[in-house]
Amino acid sequence: MTEKVTWPAIRAALLIQRWYRQYVARLEMRRRCTWNIFQSIEYAGEQDQIKLYNFFGFLMDHFTPASSERNLICHIFRKNEICRDIDWERYFCYRSIEVPDSYTGPHLTFPMTFCGVSKLVEAFKHKQNGLPSSDKPYVFNGDYVDRGKNSLEILLILFGFLLVYPNDVHLNRGNHEDHIVNLRYGFTKEVLGKYRVHGKKILKLLQKIFSWLPLATVIDQKVLIVHGGISDTTDLDTIGRVDRHKYVSALKAPKHHAVNGSTTQTMNRNREANLPEEGRRRVYSMNHCSSASAYRYNLQHRSLHSQSISSHLNCSVEEELKMRRRMAGFDQSYRKLSQSDSDSDPESGETTETDEHQWKQIVDMLWSDPMAQNGCVPNEVRGGGCYWGPDVTEEVLGRHNLQLLIRSHECKQEGYEFCHNRRVLTIFSASNYYEVGSNRGAYIRMGSDLVPHFIQYQASRTCMELTLRQSVGWTERSALRALREQLFVHKSDLISAFQEFDPHNTGKISLRNWASATEKVLNLGLPWRVLRPQLVNRTQYGMVDYQQWIRELSITEPKLEVSDNSILETMYKNHSNLETIFRIIDTDHSGLISFEEFHQTWKLLSTHLKMEISDKAIADLAQSIDFNKDGSIDINEFMEAFRLVDLSAHS
């Protein structure tokens, strides 16, 4: 017997449905605002990094060779002196490293075997996806470092698998595989903290390795994988010819003599003439190569499970390295490399038109983002690369007979996102990137049909136990905390901007003017009127008491007496830039700088900012943070002393 539904019951159900939809819509609006805050602050930091490096380039190009500012930073533009030596490999030989008795980690032997790699690997231990093989190759799409406190361990795992499975593990370069970017985002600090004796040597070696990582990988001649993206000038034949090691940092084009390109072949010729053997997935990195590239794709699968390893164990380290270089497509001798290296002193030559074109393509592939509109415009939000539209995607993929572009570089809330008529796929594997619960991570499984299948996950068990409302609330509080810090460090500029809308000095302005002035100062592109209830506690008749609001920002200042408040605000605003300059000036990577170097750092920063900072203010600041009075300043202690703390998070 069917129960009769009354009109009041239907009405109640409709009201509940309406309420729930409004509830979910409000949560979604809060989630999107939170996302915009995180992303805007992140991209503003990247833009600052590129502006600072461009400023260094300006110093190198326009200041006299004897100027103190130029001498401070010229070493980051020069070729690594150690790597110039044709015997640089012997310098980095593992047998020359002194291992202290206190070391309790794995002791590896070379040639590398699976047993050695198994001591390093944790991610593959349970074999959720299986080990690399000819029918199960892996592609990792850059940004292995500057992503947490275990970047070096991640690199060791990936490099270990690359040695054991050179045909089945492919590592693309990301925009963070760059020693200049590492100065700002933590990897340099991580290495020096973990390896106080050999840290400098490790950084020099990684700098060289990063420059050799491929810029792109192609699957079955149909799927292109790059870290950032493409532009309207992207040409895969050009990318296939690039001597990648010349571009140690993608942030600045090297200056060098023209290189004879007669020893290179285009990727198209390699593709057509040298197809892999039947049964092997045709996955290859786009290397600068000669005939060794062809040889590499015709090698038998070199998994140490499937063949005898006695011959490899009997060969010398030098022979093993030569063999691995050939398998990776690096057939040039190191004598040739040292002669053609171009990350050299900027006075050594002039940039050719070809070099400029290649460099721009590299920057585009590492730094670019897709946009919904047609066209290709500079990516002024990040400060590097471009924004490219669906028309550019169609043209580039069509010209190279490709069907899909897979890229990373942007955090996505679900871990992946299609755009450009599903011809561009963004994949982002780091869950909880901004904060616990801010996003899922994802990776792709792709079969022979080249259809991507997504596996999403959360790395934090805490996040998996949160409700939607709790997750949104958690990440929203974190985003607002970061935003309040930005407001606090710009408080003087904000007050000046507010006063322009307050000619009678009432101390109050309208909400519209508050939002307009705040955006003018911070330039983050945020919906300030929507965020106002979370940022401004009290309004009266639609007016904001901006003086009271500034005083109520719950941020604590350091307990150091500084005679000049302007230097304090400069420190807050340019915290990351200042740390970058410190680490550049700290050429021996000791973590300590002298008073004179401290003074030079501030003078360099003031030149960059086009502002005056008195010598007395700098000297007073140096004295106040020399805690043990030994005449030197610990960089980490200095940065920690000026770390902002949001009091609202501890109340």
What DSSP line would sit under 215-244, residue for residue?
SEEEETTTEEEESS---TT--HHHHHH--G
Residue with the larger pLDDT of the pair 555 and 275: 555
Residue with the larger pLDDT of the pair 570 and 250: 250
Question: Can you give the pLDDT at residue 225?
Answer: 96
350-395: per-residue pLDDT in tens?
A: 556 777 888 899 999 999 999 999 999 999 888 889 999 999 999 9
Residue 454 has pLDDT above 70, yes or no: yes
- For residues 198 and 206, the answer to whether their CB atoms sit within 8 Å is no
Q: Measured between alpha carbons, how far is 581 from 589 in angstroms, rounded to an integer?
A: 12
Residues 6+ apart with CB under 8 A from 319: none
Question: Can you give the pLDDT at residue 643?
Answer: 62
What would you report as the CA-atom Rg of the chain, rounded to the nearest whole angstrom? Answer: 27
Per-residue pLDDT band for 210 (boundaries 50, 70, 90) equals very high
Tokens representing 371 are 């946009």
Residue 478 has pLDDT above 50, yes or no: yes
Q: Which of 299-303, 490-494, 624-628 has the highest mean pLDDT?
A: 490-494
Ranges 158-167, 321-330, 463-472: which has the least confidence: 321-330
Share of the chain above pLDDT 70, in %: 66
Q: Report the 10 Å Cβ neighbour count for 299.
A: 15
Residue with the larger pLDDT of the pair 566 and 37: 37
Residue 336 has pLDDT above 50, yes or no: no
What is the average pLDDT across 533-558? 80
Q: Measured between alpha carbons, how far is 122 from 400 in angstroms, rounded to an integer?
A: 38
Question: Can you give the pLDDT at residue 141?
Answer: 95
Question: Can you give the pLDDT at residue 472?
Answer: 83
What is the average pLDDT across 614-621? 78
The residue among 351, 330, 354, 332 whose CA lies nearest residue 342 is 351
Ranges 22-36, 50-64, 536-550: which has the least confidence: 50-64
Distance, CA of 381 to chain centre = 15
Question: Can you give the pLDDT at residue 149?
Answer: 84
Question: Can you give the pLDDT at residue 266?
Answer: 30
Question: Can you give the pLDDT at residue 165?
Answer: 87
Q: What pairs with residue 115 in β-bridges?
A: none
Q: Measured between alpha carbons, how far is 452 from 86 in angstroms, rounded to an integer?
A: 44
Question: Can you give the pLDDT at residue 578?
Answer: 73
Q: Enumerate domains of the chain plus CATH numbers.
A: 105-214 (3.60.21.10), 215-253+354-457 (3.60.21.10), 484-554 (1.10.238), 565-645 (1.10.238.10)
Please state the pTM of the whole predicted model.
0.73
Q: Measured between alpha carbons, how far is 182 from 632 in angstroms, rounded to an integer?
A: 24
What is the average pLDDT across 441-456? 92
Q: Is 176 one of the annotated active-site residues of the chain?
A: yes
Q: Sort 140 into a burial class: Cβ within 10 Å, 0-12 / 13-18 / 19+.
A: buried
Residue 338 has pLDDT above 80, yes or no: no
Share of the chain above pLDDT 90, in %: 24
Q: Measured between alpha carbons, how far is 543 from 541 in angstroms, rounded to an integer?
A: 6
Of residues 107, 126, 176, 409, which has the active-site annotation?
176
Considering the chain, what is the average pLDDT of its residues? 75
Per-residue pLDDT band for 140 (boundaries 50, 70, 90) equals very high
CB hemisphere CA count around 353 (13 angstroms): 0
- For residues 477 and 453, the answer to whether their CB atoms sit within 8 Å is no
DSSP-derived letter for residue 631 is S
Q: How far is CA 8 from CA 14, 171, 227, in A?
A: 10, 63, 57
The residue among 577, 557, 576, 555 whose CA lies nearest residue 565 is 557
Ranges 16-25, 82-91, 619-628: which has the least confidence: 82-91
Residue 118 has pLDDT above 50, yes or no: yes
Q: Measured between alpha carbons, how far is 514 from 5 in angstroms, rounded to an integer?
A: 52
Question: Can you give the pLDDT at residue 633?
Answer: 77
Residue entry with tokens 């925009």: 175
Residue 346 has pLDDT above 60, yes or no: no
- For residues 414 and 442, the answer to whether their CB atoms sit within 8 Å is yes
Residue 443 has pLDDT above 90, yes or no: yes
Q: Measured between alpha carbons, how far is 522 from 484 in angstroms, rounded to an integer?
A: 11
555-611: per-residue pLDDT in tens?
A: 665 555 555 566 667 777 777 777 777 777 776 667 777 887 778 777 777 777 777
Residue 116 has pLDDT above 70, yes or no: no
Per-residue pLDDT band for 304 (boundaries 50, 70, 90) equals very low
Tokens representing 536 are 């401004």
For 404, the enclosing helix (H) or strand (E) is: strand 404-407
- For residues 178 and 142, the answer to whether their CB atoms sit within 8 Å is no
DSSP-derived letter for residue 344 is -
Tokens representing 543 are 């007016």
Residue 83 has pLDDT above 70, yes or no: no
Tokens representing 340 are 């053609």
